[in-house]
Amino acid sequence: MNLTLKVWRQNGANDKGRLESYQVKDISPDMSFLEMMDVLNDQIIVEGKDPVAFDHDCREGICGSCSMFINGEAHGPGRGITTCQLHMRTFNDGDTIYIEPWRAAAFPVIKDLVTDRSAFDRIIQAGGYVSVNTSGNTQDANALPIPKDDADKAFDAATCIGCGACVATCKNSSAMLFVSAKVSQLALLPQGDPERTTRALHMVEQMDKEGFGNCTNTGACEVECPKEISLENIARLNREYLRASVNPDK
Amino acid sequence: MSVLDSKIPSGPLAHKWTHHKDHVNLVNPANKRLIDVIVVGTGLAGSSAAASLAEMGYNVKALCFQDSPRRAHSIAAQGGINAAKNYQNDGDSTFRLFYDTIKGGDYRSREANVYRLAEVSASIIDQCVAQGVPFARDYGGLLDNRSFGGVLVSRTFYAKGQTGQQLLLGAYSALSRQIAKGKVEMLNRHEMLDVVLVGGKARGIIARNLVTGEIERISAHAVVLASGGYGNVFFLSTNAMGSNVTAAWKAHKKGAFFANPCFTQIHPTCIPVSGDYQSKLTLMSESLRNDGRIWVPKKLEDVKAIRDGSKKPVQIAEEDRDYYLERRYPSFGNLVPRDVASRAAKERCDEGYGVNKTGEAVFLDFSSAIMRYGKTEARIRGIENPSTDQVRALGEEVVGNKYGNLFQMYEKITDDNPYKTPMKIYPAVHYTMGGIWVDYNLQTTVPGLFATGEANFSDHGANRLGASALMQGLADGYFVLPYTIGEYLASDIRTGKISTDLPEFEAAEKAVRDQLNKFINNKGTQPVDFFHKKLGRIMWDQCGMARSAEGLTKAIADIQALRKDFFANVRVSGKLDELNPELEKAMRVADFIDLGELMCKDALERNESCGGHFRTEYQTEEGEALRDDVNYAYVAAWEYTGSPADSILHKEDLKFEEVELKQRSYK
Ligand SMILES: Cc1cc2nc3c(=O)[nH]c(=O)nc-3n(C[C@H](O)[C@H](O)[C@H](O)COP(=O)(O)OP(=O)(O)OC[C@H]3O[C@@H](n4cnc5c(N)ncnc54)[C@H](O)[C@@H]3O)c2cc1C
Ligand code: SF4
Ligand code: FES
């Protein structure tokens, strides 16, 4: 199929940026969206121009690198997928496709479709861990049985890939879904229990400091999240945060 | 006498590691604060090492080329991690894991290293659970296990099909904690482009800040390479797009010997290639072989009917299917090791039985498992005389619980529903057993330069067993390197900061700049991938699943010609001082070309078949790999002397004291 692409081009954080138009031809429906972008880039390079920069690595929906806002949706049409898992069979011959970066104050554009998401790392650094050192002497892994249901819920929350689609989708650019996923995972497991209170407080504090917006429960994040992280986690984070604020010493 | 000293401790195998740990030099906590360590890479091997070294008190600088340490390629590992816990009470033990790994590796790895790996495996699981890694559990709340190829016990721990993700996020959380404390300085979007040697010791690196393009000098008392494997030399592989050999290759050029480069793992169960535009291949985890049966039709007319769409796979009668692994290897069946399964698939497809348009695919079928689980489930739920549809629905639920995300991934890529029709799979490049040569302390032939994880060659011989790479990465990073590096650093407590103004840094930086500028100023016409794809084709055809002296000789000449073509005709757009992914790729492909040549040379040198290295001249009558233990029971460690063509081979003889060398049999 033949397509018209309107791609966001921006040379660094200080450039204003603009949409540029490109034509690509003979795109196979079996190609992934990023393979289509490869075709575009090879074409641009042969013309002697600057290819479109975009983040990607695993190309199988797990590393969280890829991050394109396609036709007004984070990771494009389709539910439960990342941009790299989007296939061209979703589109029709002759379509015009708009491709933009994540847009959020806390994710400044570095170049074209590449943004700086290091704010997420700093939120994890604020408390998204269990304080245990490496040693050969932690207790035996089976010494503490964990109800399957809790383990499964913790796992579901832990599948967040840190892509930032939730933020890009949210009209307030809130990072609540991301933060709640990590807080939930650790709150549901006995290993995370001792630091439950400080964790919730510190991570939320860092989130605010990074310039993410407030959550107004629109639920758009859950819809666009490629890992289908549930809004229940936000409810749990709110409970954890409340519990921590009421009883900060615990 | 070999120049290689593996530093294997003396004493009985089972006591070597404990004894070594008890006698290794220690650095006192106050002195650790005076010592800097660079860790290149934040996959399982790098994150775990960086976090552990920082906890111990060293000042760590860690690098990754992604925008966050959490995105390292380890994140993509699916199936699981081995450990000799014997939770299933099925006869597992440290010795058995050791033995399986040595045998699986076709007797081309070091006994002492492998035994140590098996020994620390149990601690890895304990450590990860303590960090909050949500492994799969059974209804009693205890950890669940599954089986992987090449073994007869159930020792693989998993978190659905996302085990690598969960383990890496565990290590990333430990790393994040140290970053918050200021003990690790994390350099994201930084690529190491050279090692700097001062007085013969590794004392730092040159790195490019991938956002600004700035070239940075970073000094330290020791450098750890945890930069992953080099499967992308084949262009198409299951590795992440950015996985590369540059860090390892630059170290090789500076004196680190490269061991067994030709030992590559071709994984039997990947989604087949669908077109020339393809940028990577997707693995379907080996865990699927627990429940999936591999087959092709027995009759060529059925093959034809499937290819032209006039018959569906489910319409092929049971007696007309050739479950060729079960036929050839009755005792291990679908769970033979990867190299064996891959070659068997190639054999069927070469004979014309491939089931897709390109003739390069076989079926992986879950229908028996679905019905079997469905029946059990119906019994558990007390459903009397369930209908076939009911049984199938229940069975699909069970299978969905085990492999749901893999099935979903498959369907997204191929648009086929694997619950209803068998998957189509074909072997693809997946892992590299070869890598930087290291001694028992994980130190390379350059003093102060260490290598861990997939970047080193140490534990998997000529073939890696499934679920053992994650185990090795974390063993190296959490439990081995933090001890063994002390042996070296103990003599550095009075050295003081290493200055980056030394002439050695100056010279290394200049060389890096020159190479980058050469690419930017080249007046070529073709993008980098054009050359990378050509290289991949040569490697896959001549240095892939089957190799021959004739093919390898031709490949070497072809690669040498490709190198000339590449440097003359590559076009790298953009500038040096900005984010420039094409420039990054060009630097990596230059090193892949060199490596490819060395791999072919190594494969040509090894006149035997073992594990993933299959030389068509050396096979048994049944087509199995034919080893030559008299002449080739050694590690081939290559020394760089100016070009891959001139590299010098050093041999580390492998001594087997505990296991008897046998022809591997999975029949
Ligand atoms: C799809 C897939 C599934 C797998 N499943 C399993 C499984 O189920 N079980 C199992 O045991 N194994 C599995 N493996 C193998 C296993 O995942 C890898 O061998 C292992 O994760 C490698 O870890 P590592 O830490 O050595 O390297 P990587 O995880 O590859 O990390 C490399 C790091 O080095 C950095 N780096 C590289 N070069 C440079 C440079 N020049 N400068 C700066 N940084 C650099 C990268 O940024 C990255 O952080 C799988 C592999 C694949 C491809
Ligand atoms: S919660 Fe979902 S959308 Fe947000 S970062 Fe995690 S995976 Fe991405
Ligand atoms: S490239 Fe890794 S999630 Fe898309």
Separation CA A246–CA B459 (nearest Å)? 52
Query: Which residues of chain A lie closer than 8 angstroms to B164, CB-CB?
Result: 62
B73 CB less than 6 Å from ligand 1? yes
Residue spans of alpha helices (H) in B73-110: 94-104
Q: Six-digit token pair at B526?
A: 């073709």
The DSSP bridge partners found for residue B37 are B60, B222
Instruction: Indicate if B293 belongs to the active site.
Output: no
B453 CB less than 6 Å from ligand 1? yes
Contact B123 A138 (CB under 8 A): yes
Which among B55, B71, B573 has the least Cβ separation from residue A45? B573
Sign (positive/negative) of CA torsion B616, B620, B622, B624? negative
Q: Do the Cβ atoms of B602 and B108 come closer than 8 Å?
A: no
Architecture in CATH for domain A3-111: Roll (3.10)
Task: Determine how β-strand A109-111 pairs with β-strand A114-115.
Answer: antiparallel
Q: Which of B155, B338, B563, B615 is catalytic?
A: B338
pLDDT category at A137 given cuts 50, 70, 90 is confident
Contact A140 B126 (CB under 8 A): yes
Instruction: Extract the residue ranges of chain B whose pLDDT is less than 70.
Output: 1
Separation CA B193–CA B198 (nearest Å)? 17
Separation CA B371–CA B30 (nearest Å)? 63
Query: Which residues of chain A lie closer than 8 angstroms to B478, CB-CB?
Result: 134
A47 and chain B: CB distance < 8 Å anywhere?
no
Which among A129, A136, A162 has the least Cβ separation from residue B177? A129
Q: Which of B158, B168, B173 to mutate to test the interface with A (most CBs of A within 10 A)?
A: B173
Same fold, A3-111 and A117-246: no
Nearest CA in chain B to A59: B240
Separation CA B141–CA B144 (nearest Å)? 9
Nearest CA in chain A to B158: A155
Determine the distance in angstroms separating the CA of B235 from the nearest CA of chain A, rounded to an integer: 14
Q: What is the pLDDT of residues A66-118, one digit of tens each?
A: 999 999 999 999 999 999 999 999 999 999 999 999 999 999 999 999 999 99
Separation CA B115–CA B473 (nearest Å)? 15
pLDDT category at A248 given cuts 50, 70, 90 is low
Contact A46 B274 (CB under 8 A): no
Nearest ligand atom owner, CA of B225 = 1
**If we measure between CA atoms, which residue out of B313, B310, B273 comes closest to residue B296?**
B313
Q: What is the pLDDT of residue B1?
A: 52
Q: Six-digit token pair at B504?
A: 């050695």
Q: What is the pLDDT of residue B664?
A: 82
Buried-exposed string A58-78: b where 16+ CB fall within 10 A, e elsewhere: bbbbbbbbbbbbbeebbbbeb
Q: Do the Cβ atoms of A169 and A220 come closer than 8 Å?
A: yes
> Helix crossing, B581-605 with B549-569: angle to 10°?
160
A128 and chain B: CB distance < 8 Å anywhere?
yes
CA–CA distance from A170 to each of A163, A220, A241, B268, B383 (Å)?
14, 6, 21, 42, 46
Residues with CB under 6 A from ligand 2: A 160-166, 177-178, 181, 225-227, 229
Which H/E stretch holds residue B622? none
Q: Six-digit token pair at A245?
A: 């604020």
Nearest CA in chain A to B280: A59
Nearest CA in chain B to A158: B166
Q: Determine if residue B86 is left, alpha or beta; phi over 0 gives left, psi from -120 to 50 gives alpha, anything else beta.
A: left
Contact A42 B188 (CB under 8 A): no
pTM over the 0.95 mark: yes
CA of B435 to the centre of ligand 3 (A): 26
CA triplet A29, A34, A35: central angle to 5 degrees? 55
Nearest ligand atom owner, CA of B240 = 1
Query: Which residues of chain A lie closer than 8 angstroms to B527, CB-CB?
Result: 41-42, 45-46
Which among B127, B132, B578 has the least Cβ separation from residue A134? B127
Work out which ligand 3 atom sits closest to the CA atom of A62: 3
Work out which ligand 2 atom sits closest to the CA atom of A74: 3
Work out which ligand 1 atom sits closest to the CA atom of B454: 26
Nearest ligand atom owner, CA of A68 = 3
Contact A50 B159 (CB under 8 A): no
Contact B71 A116 (CB under 8 A): no
CA–CA distance from B76 to each of A59, A64, A248, B243, B257 (Å)?
10, 10, 38, 12, 29
Beta strands (DSSP E) in B75-178 are 81-82, 156-157
Q: Which amino acid is at B415?
A: D
Work out which ligand 1 atom sits closest to the CA atom of B468: 11
Query: Which residues of chain A lie closer than 8 angstroms to B190, CB-CB?
Result: none
Which among A30, A38, A148 has the least Cβ separation from residue B139? A148
Determine the distance in angstroms separating the CA of A109 from the nearest CA of chain B, rounded to an integer: 11
CA–CA distance from B254 to each of A244, B198, B202, B435, B436 (Å)?
54, 11, 9, 15, 12
Separation CA B662–CA B516 (nearest Å)? 50
The best mutation among B71, B227, B289 to test binding of ligand 1, ranked by most ligand atoms within 8 Å of the C-beta, falls on B227
**If we measure between CA atoms, which residue out of B449, B44, B55 comes closest to residue B225?**
B449
CA triplet B51, B197, B264: central angle to 5 degrees? 65
Q: Do the Cβ atoms of B614 and B339 come closer than 8 Å?
A: yes
Looking at 3.30.365.10, 1.20.58.100, 3.40.50.1820, 2.60.40.10, the CATH number of the domain B502-632 comes to 1.20.58.100
The residue written with tokens 């040693």 in the block is: A135
Query: Domain spans of chain A?
Result: 3-111, 117-246
Determine the distance in angstroms separating the CA of A77 from the nearest CA of chain B, rounded to an integer: 13
Judging by beta carbons within 10 Å of its beta carbon (0-12, 13-18, 19+), is residue B497 exposed, middle or buried? exposed
Q: Which amino acid is at B506?
A: E
Contact B579 A31 (CB under 8 A): no
Separation CA B264–CA B429 (nearest Å)? 7
Query: Domain spans of chain B?
Result: 269-429, 502-632
How many Cα atoms are found within 13 Å in the side-chain-facing hemisphere of B3? 14
Q: Which amino acid is at B377?
A: E
Nearest CA in chain B to A27: B277
Q: What is the pLDDT of residues B317-334, one digit of tens each?
A: 999 999 999 999 999 999
CATH superfamily to which A117-246 belongs: Alpha-helical ferredoxin (1.10.1060.10)
A56 CB less than 6 Å from ligand 3? yes
